[in-house]
Amino acid sequence: MLYICTPKKNSTMKKLFLSTLLFLAPCFCLAQNGEGEDIIVDDHEISFKAPDYQFLRDTINDPEGVYYYPRLLERLAKGDTTLDINDVRCIYYGYALQPDFDPYGHFDEQGEIQKILFSDVEPSKADFEKVIELADKVLAKKPTELPMYYYRLIGCHYGYGESDPRTEAARFRFSAMMDAVYSSGNGNHDAPFHLTTVMHSYFLMSMNDLHPEYQSLGQIDGRFCDIFPIEANEYGVDTLYFDIHECFMHMSKMFESNDEASTTRVGTQLEIPLGTHFIIKLEEELGEDKTGFKVVKMEPYDNVLVRYENDGLFPEEGEPGTIEGYFCRSTYGNTVEEIRDNVKIVLVFKSWIDSMLNYDTDIRQENGTWEKTSNSGIWHKVLMTEIWSTGYDMLKISNLRKMSN
């Protein structure tokens, strides 16, 4: 999880985090407690309303229209302060309608930026300029990536000075993009914040020093939402709701594409997003080296499993040569507190492959960092369960091979 305030040895980063926190804090306060449709961000009033995707489809692709998407992006990149909240909402939410829409992507540049900013050594001017360069590379690929606007502001602030025009432009771009999200709802059950990137929920919470107890996926009025009970905080926020419906539907379409491609595509590894039901089938002769397989099915799975009570998920006899599994959340307990405290991430699966198998697993943290993780192998017709703490969003399975004697 991306917590901007984590580096304790670097006072420069901590100071800028605190100043940004003070700048944004009123939004959550008023969003949660206000009765009307107006909230205050950076001392100005904006109304909140859910994005209208039909309106966006009708307008952002019209070269003659005021909301033509490429032209809005150009204006934002230049720090054009005549952009208003409607313009920037079209940029942020219009991204979900672009051909290269990717609500789950991770960028290597983020790791490079964090190494610079969160180092024990005070960054130099050249380091801050490198941060700007790296952030710009990401924004050229994904112009709605909120953390990059923040990193870019840090780079300008300390690289060029607080009153430099480049810093003013960076501050406007960051503020405008945050306003766009804050204008979409008030973060409660009836009006969740709308996102076009799943990880932006963690960024928004970290910017306001709000720490989630755990995450669950639910539906509100037919739309998928991430729901976060929040630890005790000075704003009195107990739960935050983020509408990630466009992200979830994109993942569903991606799964459908994978299903169509799987009739011919054979690979040796598979990345599985959290909240997925999958079936894979061996397509090559099983050996002690890695073995190819194809994806038979990948589909969203938004249920939370009851741990150790999952035999009913699988048929008594599956298709020979297949492995079926679920990568999702699970819990157990007799009280609300026990159920909340026992939430874990699990891989539950069963194999109908005659041989016992070894395989490799890597799991991705919510901040995008991959790490190796152990597993107990794959056993014929045995229900297997691997368990991790929360804070991960992707699992990679690779190199299926015959178990050595």
Query: What value does the mean pLDDT take over residues 103-125?
Result: 86
**pLDDT confidence tier of residue 57, bands split at 50, 70 and 90:** very high
| Residue 252 falls inside a structural domain | no
Single-letter amino acid code for the residue at 31 = A
Which of 218, 247, 276 terminates a domain? The answer is: 247
> 389 and 361: one domain?
yes
Which of 247, 279, 311 terminates a domain? The answer is: 247
Containing H/E element for 21? helix 11-33
> 18 and 146: one domain?
yes
> 340 and 236: one domain?
no
Amino acid 20: pLDDT: 42
| Residue 281 falls inside a structural domain | yes
Amino acid 135: pLDDT: 96
> 143 and 287: one domain?
no
**pLDDT confidence tier of residue 47, bands split at 50, 70 and 90:** low
Q: How many structural domains compose the chain?
A: 2
> 């720090």: which residue's tokens?
79
Range of the domain at 300: 262-402
> 42 and 99: one domain?
yes
> 303 and 228: one domain?
no
| Residue 134 falls inside a structural domain | yes
Query: What value does the mean pLDDT take over residues 378-384?
Result: 91
Q: pLDDT (tens digit, 9 = 90+) per residue, 68-113?
A: 999 999 999 999 999 999 999 999 999 999 998 988 777 889 889 9
Amino acid 285: pLDDT: 64
**pLDDT confidence tier of residue 392, bands split at 50, 70 and 90:** confident
Q: Calculate the CA dihedral of residues 245, 138, 181, 256 and round it to 10 degrees.
A: -10
| Residue 290 falls inside a structural domain | yes
pTM attached to this predicted model: 0.67
* Secondary structure (DSSP) of 140-190: HH-TT-HHHHHHHHHHHHHHH-TTSHHHHHHHHHHHHHHHHHHTT--SBTT
Which of 213, 247, 281 terminates a domain? The answer is: 247
Query: What value does the mean pLDDT take over residues 201-223?
Result: 85
**pLDDT confidence tier of residue 32, bands split at 50, 70 and 90:** very low
Amino acid 366: pLDDT: 77
Query: What value does the mean pLDDT take over residues 251-259?
Result: 59
> 188 and 302: one domain?
no
Amino acid 108: pLDDT: 83
| Residue 232 falls inside a structural domain | yes
**pLDDT confidence tier of residue 292, bands split at 50, 70 and 90:** confident
**pLDDT confidence tier of residue 351, bands split at 50, 70 and 90:** very high
| Residue 392 falls inside a structural domain | yes
> 159 and 105: one domain?
yes
> 339 and 395: one domain?
yes
Task: Label residues 366-400 b or e (16+ Cβ within 10 Å = b).
Answer: bbbeeeeeeeeebeeeeebbbeeebebbbbbbeeb
| Residue 291 falls inside a structural domain | yes
Count of CB atoms within 10 A of residue 213's CB? 15
- Using DSSP's 3-state secondary structure scheme, residue 73 falls into helix
> 197 and 149: one domain?
yes
| Residue 253 falls inside a structural domain | no
> 343 and 387: one domain?
yes
> 239 and 372: one domain?
no
Write down the mean pLDDT value for the chain.
81
Amino acid 288: pLDDT: 58
Choose from 17-21, 134-138, 252-256 the range with maximum mean pLDDT: 134-138
Q: Give, in degrees to the nearest 5, the angle at Cα 102 between 96 and 103.
A: 75
Query: What value does the mean pLDDT take over residues 134-143?
Result: 95
